[in-house]
Amino acid sequence: MRSTLVVVLACHFLAAFTVLGVPLYLPRLLQAFGLAEQSPWAGVLFSLPAVMTALSASGWGRFADRYGRRLSLQRALAGLTLAFLLAGAAPSLPWLVLALALQGLAGGTLAAANGYLSQYLHGDALAKALNWTQFSARLALLSAPPLMGAVLMVLPHIGQRLWLGLALLPLAGLLLSLRLLDEVTPSQTRSSARGAPAEKAAPLWPLWLMQFLFNFAMVVTFPYFLPYAAHWLHQPVIVGVFYSWPHLIYLLLLPLWHRLPGRGLWFAPGMLLLALAALWHTRLETPAALLAARTLFGLGMLLAYSGANQLLSNAIRQHSAGKQFGQIDAAGKWAGVAAGLSAGWLVAHTTLQTPYLASALAAVMAVFIFVTSSLRGSGYVRITRSS
């Protein structure tokens, strides 16, 4: 199973690297279409793939449950390849809009990867695997922007051809996915589900809402971090290090975290740490305090992701895992869109510190939903399945 996990993580990383590296440089790439870097089109096209993914995620989840989860993963990788080829060859802005819409519509690689893994892993083993897919996403988020920035520095005239080069990465993931087995067919899964004794299933709406609030709490602090941190940090590269620091904390500590016995569910403590870190961001006076607050934010991210993935792995129903992962992915995407819009409105009407207050409020609301829902009951907290 370890080799299968490695292949799935590699496929997801290649897709995530492709998608996460472009947005930072989108305003510059749009110059090839006659648009200024400050054009409102940059904001629209930045959000378009996320909106399309949120709209289509549940449908692709049902597709996975019906036709196979390996096929769904391959569908996502093929769609991403086609979208980036179309973007790289787009002769006009409408064609680029179509390409970015296709990127979102055919996306959902994370949900597809998690759905595939749920065929073979359950309970604590699945929760660990979900943590590792988040690890690959954090790694892509850390590595893609600086590497693509280096490409643009070395090849300043590459323009939209950058999309053509990036299309090779999901294509490589698609070829790599051919090594994956599809041993559990959808028909077998449904037959097993009909023949198995009925289980009490955790209600999923609290998971969706908690996922929405969790993602909102993280993303709402991101868009304006550069002007916020400029008060203490005067070099863009240092701002970038501080910006990425929470993700680096996650990458460094997750392998150690998985070795500790009796981790339990850490969603609520993690969200409380996020709230405390966000509030601390509104009261900072020195760069050292900012680094400490970013470290606390990273620790909260690690604990909250671990707890959320444990909750999800215990609540997932095998015969509809694709649909459920798609719904969770859609909740996260809608949260990202809402967070970006909220951050823009808050900064325009208040101060650069206000998004951190919104982050803290969302984190506390997620904890409230957790403690007042049946998710905290022993029926869902304990590990109910084993690999």
Residue 349: domain span = 204-380
Structure tokens at 311: 């909750």
Candidates 69, 71, 90, 72; CA nearest to 167 is: 90
**Do 289 and 241 lie in a common domain?**
yes
Q: State the DSSP string of 179-193.
A: T----S-HHHHHHHH
Helices (H), 31-68: 40-67
**Do 127 and 210 lie in a common domain?**
no
**Do 221 and 185 lie in a common domain?**
no
According to DSSP, residue 146 is labeled: H
**Do 2 and 99 lie in a common domain?**
yes
Domain boundary among 167, 198, 229: 198
Judged against a pLDDT cut of 60, whether residue 386 lies above it is answered with no
Helices (H), 287-350: 287-315, 321-349
The whole-number average pLDDT for the span 124-147 is 88
**Do 332 and 190 lie in a common domain?**
no
Domain boundary among 198, 215, 245: 198
The 3 state secondary structure assigned to 72-124 is: HHHHHHHHHHHHHHHHHCCCCHHHHHHHHHHHHHCCCHHHHHHHHHCCCCCHH
Judged against a pLDDT cut of 50, whether residue 197 lies above it is answered with no
Condensed to tens digits (0 to 9), the pLDDT of residues 30-42 reads 888 888 766 778 7
The 3 state secondary structure assigned to 134-145 is: HHHHHHHHHHHH
User: pTM, whole model, 2 decimals?
Assistant: 0.80
Number of structural domains (the chain) is: 2
**Do 190 and 107 lie in a common domain?**
yes
**Do 6 and 45 lie in a common domain?**
yes
Least confident of 61-75, 243-257, 279-293, 307-321: 307-321
Q: pLDDT category, 380, cuts 50, 70, 90?
A: very low
Q: Is residue 214 part of a domain?
A: yes
**Do 249 and 127 lie in a common domain?**
no
**Do 165 and 313 lie in a common domain?**
no
**Do 122 and 157 lie in a common domain?**
yes
Domain boundary among 198, 226, 250: 198
Q: Is residue 387 part of a domain?
A: no
Cα-Cα-Cα-Cα dihedral of 103, 106, 108, 113, to 10°? -120
- What's the CATH code of the domain at 146? 1.20.1250.20
The predicted pLDDT at position 319 comes to 67
